[in-house]
Amino acid sequence: MRILVHIDDAADWQAALQERLPQAEVFTSDQTVESIDYLAVWKPPAELLERHAEARGIINLGAGVDALLGNPGLPADTPIVKLRDAGMGELIADYCLYGLFHVQRDFDRYREQQDRAEWREHQVIDKRDWSVGVLGLGAIGRHVAERIAAAGFPVRGWSRSPKTLEGISCHHGEDGLYDLLGQVRTLITLLPNTPETYHLINAKTLATLPEGASLINPGRGTLIDESALLDALGEPNGQGRLRSALLDAFPEEPLPSDSPLWRHPRLLITPHMAGPTPLGAALDQVVETLEAWGAGREVPTIDRSAGY
């Protein structure tokens, strides 16, 4: 079995895979290789996919496959497997809990007061009265929803089709989406990037949120209509309908330096760091997939038409 790895820490992946699969030959994309059996990649260049169109399978070293599916070099029929949670859920849940406590305990307001040397305590709103919405109940969304519920917050989850999660009020479909939006103080978006989710967070959906709600997006940047978000936040020196937003993903990355998002005081921006792929936790999934392919066993692959 010949495997080619393309990711920022490819050398670490190469060493780890070689140790776990001693009979395999593992290469990185900066090595010249004539032919391979499988690709393990994260956002590869088109020419790499074109050069190795003979690959019998591709493992996407992350949960989001939109960049790979949009790659012009992607072969039409090669099966694709993506990582499912693989340790990312825990990291993203930590990120979301930070963002949630940032507003629930008024750290955003205390930071503004610090600039004015203003000493004023805000009354704490009980977690039981702070309903949280989680859009997307896949492996990562489920983990996030369960962690937040375990922290004491009432959680409402939304998915395209019906789901049942213990301790989570589950909604689905368009009616379910708007029902959820009208009842949550913080909204977390963990949906994939598909034609159906493009700009799902827009002027209409933002207006459905209660006054003073907050938004956390560790999902895909294309979920949010940025102009509508800025309108909902209002003027930098005023107060908009939306209290604040914590954003980790953007349609164009790095976020351009002239983007007005950088300069809005009620926006907190992070550089797509909410859920990096931890090699240790992901390695088991990658090895399991490669061993199954090598033995000729069926492996669950993504649905290209659905986008995930």
Whether 122 sits among the annotated catalytic residues: the reply is: no
Please indicate, yes or no, whether the overall pTM of this predicted structure exceeds 0.85. yes
Q: Assess if residue 305 is contained within a domain.
A: no
Q: Assess if residue 242 is contained within a domain.
A: yes
Selecting among 2, 20, 172, 272, the annotated active-site residue is: 272
pLDDT tens-place string over residues 238-278: 889 999 999 999 999 999 999 999 999 999 999 999 999 88
pLDDT of 280 reads 87
Domain extent at residue 151: 88-269
pLDDT of 277 reads 86
Sheet of 57-60: strand order equals 25-28, 2-6, 38-41, 57-60, 80-82
> Which CATH number belongs to the domain containing residue 62 in this structure?
3.40.50.720
pLDDT (average), residues 157-181: 97
Q: Is the model more confident about 236 or about 93?
A: 93
State the chain's mean pLDDT as an integer.
96
- Are 128 and 248 within one domain? yes
- What per-residue string of b and e applies to 211-227 under the rule 16 or more CB within 10 Å gives b? eebbbbbbbbbbbbbbe
Nearest residue to 31 (alpha-carbon basis) of 60, 58, 2, 67: 2
pLDDT (average), residues 197-225: 97
Selecting among 142, 143, 156, 220, the annotated active-site residue is: 220
Q: Assess if residue 244 is contained within a domain.
A: yes
Number of domains in the chain: 2
pLDDT of 85 reads 87
Whether 272 sits among the annotated catalytic residues: the reply is: yes
Q: Assess if residue 299 is contained within a domain.
A: no
- Are 109 and 258 within one domain? yes
pLDDT (average), residues 81-109: 96
- Are 197 and 121 within one domain? yes
- Are 134 and 260 within one domain? yes
pLDDT (average), residues 93-114: 97
pLDDT (average), residues 9-24: 97
User: In this model, does residue 281 exceed pLDDT 90?
Assistant: no
